[in-house]
């Protein structure tokens, strides 16, 4: 696909000039597309590397690094002193950063 994006316009103009299109018709665009054609060679290795799924996952893990989130369960404490007095406390346990 990268070849079509960068090299199709110069090939089209070369074909048109070979069929006898005058050089004044689109010559500025022709030289710009000739210049952009060099980017095909430069971008091809990057496109090939990014098409590998395992390498793409490694790059995502490297550049989008976020620490894993831990799930902390709630601790439920129930105190029944008498039948009339009952209360429940729900709190997350403390975490100590080391």
Domain boundaries, the chain: 1-92
Model's pTM, two decimal places?
0.35
pLDDT digits (tens, 9 = 90+) for 42-88: 888 888 887 888 888 887 888 777 777 777 666 666 666 655 555 55
Q: How confident is the model at residue 91 (pLDDT cuts 50, 70, 90)?
A: low
Tell me the HSE value of 8 on the side-chain side, using a 13 A CA sphere. 5
Q: What per-residue confidence (pLDDT) applies to 31?
A: 74
Residue from 29, 24, 25 nearest 9 by CA: 29
Q: What per-residue confidence (pLDDT) applies to 15?
A: 82
């Amino acid at each position: 696909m990268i070849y079509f994006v960068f090299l199709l316009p110069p090939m089209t103009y070369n074909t048109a000039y070979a069929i006898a299109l005058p050089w004044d018709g689109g010559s500025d665009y022709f030289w710009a597309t000739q210049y952009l054609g060099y980017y095909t060679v430069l971008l091809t290795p990057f496109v090939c590397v990014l098409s590998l799924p395992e390498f793409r996952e490694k790059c995502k893990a490297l550049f989008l690094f976020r620490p894993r989130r831990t799930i902390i369960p709630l601790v439920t404490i129930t105190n029944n002193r008498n039948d009339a007095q009952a209360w429940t406390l729900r709190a997350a346990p403390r975490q100590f950063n080391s």
